[in-house]
Amino acid sequence: MTDTSSTTVAPAGRPGVSGDPVVAMQAITMEFPGVRALEDVDFRLFPGEVHALMGENGAGKSTLIKVLTGVYTATAGTTELRGERIAFSGPAEAQASGVSTVYQEVNLCPNLSVAENILLGREPRRLGSIDMGATRSRAAELLRRMGLDIDPGSILAEHPIAIQQLVAIARAVAVDAQVLILDEPTSSLDQDEVAELFRIMRHLRDEGVAILFVSHFLEQVYEIADRMTVLRNGRLVGEHLTRDLTRLQLVSAMIGRELGVLEEVERLAADAADAAEVTGGGDRAPLLEATGLGRRGSIAPFDLRIAAGEVVGLAGLLGSGRTELARLLFGADRADSGEVRVDGRVVSLRTPRSAIASGIAFCSEDRKGEGILADLSIRDNLVLAMQAARGWARPIPRRTKDELVEKWMTALDIRPKNPDALVGKLSGGNQQKVLLARWLVTRPRLLILDEPTRGIDIGAKAQIQKLVAELAAEGMAVVYISAELEEVARLAHRVVVLKDRAKVAELDGSASVDEIMALIATADGDVRTEQVAS
């Protein structure tokens, strides 16, 4: 397995890719009623390169991919594959021509075997019958080529998401794909899994496959991509060799404004952290104190103290128990051991309703599934939690509602600034803001944020982090969960490190990303649990 930390530099000469592009899109314009999603965009993809398509949400990345794979037909412009003009009728035809796509969500059938998922629709046949033996051995060969040691006869659902994602890639390359499009394949993978994915990507690249890679993780892009194309607001900003473009240049190219916001977050967070230290965050009577709280098969018993005005970060890999811990605090899952005290009094958090009554709010990581109501307007989504808290018998007066909505839409810069817009139509970042605002109107005392910045653009990320720092400064307690350790290290006054569904350490706010990472990588519950008191 490749080591993530030893960032391999792209082989010399590779980025200078010679020869003709396998994909050449020219002057692509895509218009939807009322929106111009792409305007005059050129895009080239060469064989044997990993090419990152960069841009904020709404920059037109997905639209460009959909034009390439035939989901949309471009309003203007031409697409050439190996020098021939093409216009696919859909993903099926694109696939048949060697253009395969792997999406963020695993789009496979969990009820079928790994082998079938790889070869479904093109199984080897004999006399009209599917040859199961041949199907299995062909799948096994493909998996071997990718260096994956899994039983092709096993059912897909038995494997973790990361493996399923790799099976999806196996399916994509099974057609001898010359162009492989990976649309945010890493958003649900942990570090080892990303390393595994990158190993396979490099392998395929070296075999001459052209890989189009979309990711919100800058570090990943810098690790794997040879070249990148940056889009902003549907226009091409530029095409660069990765090594020629610094991270700062890339970010400013993507968001098209100075990096003031990010710097401001840093400053605010630092201020807030200082303030907390002055007031002695850890020594104050805790707002919430959990002792021995745990749930079998979910998370081992843990202790946790959170004071008002404190941001507690939860760090750990995917599946380390971050979300499970949060769900226990919110009563979304029932604890089977331990107790929780709020303001020193024991409370029973058996349902989210009782947690809300104690002033606890929870923004789920599953925005679409457990958060927003896509078919309701921004206004309705915003007042939902407040209405629930008031009880159904006391409707919120229309005026109060409008004032609240106006206030929070301005405060959080929710766009479009139209309270009647359906939430399902908003970008990920704006959906997240609506979700946040929904809880903020209820004035919670403890806000639990599970991956609030996942899958949203940098501008919105910065705004949300800034907001968290401000809320804490105003005295709200925040539990902040993020896979991006930089965010946790930047915002949190204390960092709780989780591993394998147990709390393994607690660090103070000065902990660096490296320290946290070292703990996650090595904490085994023995020597490494040296603690830093806060």
Query: Judging by DSSP bridges, how do beta strands 311-315 and 494-499 pair with one another?
Result: parallel
- Per the CB < 8 A criterion, the answer to whether 442 and 436 are in contact is no
| CA 187-191-192 angle, 5° bins | 120
Q: Considering only residues 87, 109, 259, 346, which one is a binding residue for other proteins as defined by CB under 8 A?
A: 109
| Least Å from the CB of residue 306 to other proteins | 13
Q: Considering only residues 12, 278, 393, 533, which one is a binding residue for other proteins as defined by CB under 8 A?
A: 533
- Per the CB < 8 A criterion, the answer to whether 182 and 201 are in contact is yes
- Which CB atom, from 96 or from 248, has the smaller least distance to other proteins? 96
If one asks whether residue 92 binds other proteins (CB under 8 A), the answer comes out as yes
* Integer CA distances (angstroms), 169 to 62, 88, 174, 252, 448, in order: 18, 21, 8, 32, 35
**Whole-angstrom Cα distance, residue 299 to residue 342?**
21
If one asks whether residue 327 binds other proteins (CB under 8 A), the answer comes out as no
- Per the CB < 8 A criterion, the answer to whether 363 and 329 are in contact is no
| Interface size with other proteins, residues (CB under 8 A) | 54
If one asks whether residue 155 binds other proteins (CB under 8 A), the answer comes out as yes
- Per the CB < 8 A criterion, the answer to whether 112 and 155 are in contact is yes
| Least Å from the CB of residue 197 to other proteins | 15
Query: Judging by DSSP bridges, how do beta strands 337-342 and 446-450 pair with one another?
Result: unpaired
**DSSP bridge partners of 289:** 305, 341
Q: Considering only residues 103, 407, 413, 427, which one is a binding residue for other proteins as defined by CB under 8 A?
A: 103
Q: Percent helix, strand, coil in the chain (nearest 5)?
A: 40, 25, 35
| Least Å from the CB of residue 489 to other proteins | 20
Q: Considering only residues 9, 13, 83, 129, which one is a binding residue for other proteins as defined by CB under 8 A?
A: 129
Residue among 423, 312, 325, 314 nearest 371 (CA): 423
If one asks whether residue 424 binds other proteins (CB under 8 A), the answer comes out as no
| CA 434-436-439 angle, 5° bins | 110
DSSP secondary structure letter of residue 370: I
- Per the CB < 8 A criterion, the answer to whether 519 and 528 are in contact is yes
**Whole-angstrom Cα distance, residue 76 to residue 137?**
45
Q: Considering only residues 87, 96, 259, 346, which one is a binding residue for other proteins as defined by CB under 8 A?
A: 96
DSSP secondary structure letter of residue 33: T
Q: Considering only residues 33, 121, 260, 369, which one is a binding residue for other proteins as defined by CB under 8 A?
A: 121
Strands (DSSP E) contained in 407-459 are 446-450
If one asks whether residue 193 binds other proteins (CB under 8 A), the answer comes out as no
SS3 for 448? strand
Q: What's the number of CA atoms in the CB half-sphere (13 Å) around residue 76? A: 9
DSSP string of 150-216, one letter each residue:
--TTSBGGGS-HHHHHHHHHHHHHHT--SEEEEESTTTT--HHHHHHHHHHHHHHHHTT-EEEEE-S
Q: Which stretch binds other proteins (CB under 8 A): 17-25, 102-110, 262-270, 389-397?
A: 102-110
| Least Å from the CB of residue 502 to other proteins | 5
- Which CB atom, from 108 or from 412, has the smaller least distance to other proteins? 108
If one asks whether residue 6 binds other proteins (CB under 8 A), the answer comes out as no
If one asks whether residue 190 binds other proteins (CB under 8 A), the answer comes out as no
If one asks whether residue 374 binds other proteins (CB under 8 A), the answer comes out as no
| Least Å from the CB of residue 94 to other proteins | 9
Q: Which stretch binds other proteins (CB under 8 A): 4-12, 17-25, 157-165, 431-439?
A: 157-165
- Which CB atom, from 389 or from 517, has the smaller least distance to other proteins? 517
159-178 residues near other proteins, rule: CB under 8 A: 159-160, 163, 171
Q: Which stretch binds other proteins (CB under 8 A): 112-120, 213-221, 375-383, 429-437?
A: 112-120
- Which CB atom, from 28 or from 114, has the smaller least distance to other proteins? 114
Q: Which stretch binds other proteins (CB under 8 A): 236-244, 330-338, 343-351, 524-532?
A: 524-532
**What track of x and - describes contact with other proteins for positions 261 through 300 (by CB under 8 A)?**
---------------------x-----------------x
**What track of x and - describes contact with other proteins for positions 499 through 518 (by CB under 8 A)?**
xxxxxxxx------------
471-500 residues near other proteins, rule: CB under 8 A: 499-500
Residue among 265, 261, 217, 257 nearest 237 (CA): 257
Return residues touching other proteins (CB under 8 A): 90-92, 95-96, 101, 103, 106-112, 116, 120-121, 123, 125, 128-130, 132, 149-151, 153-155, 157-160, 163, 171, 282, 300, 302-303, 499-506, 523-525, 529, 531, 533-534
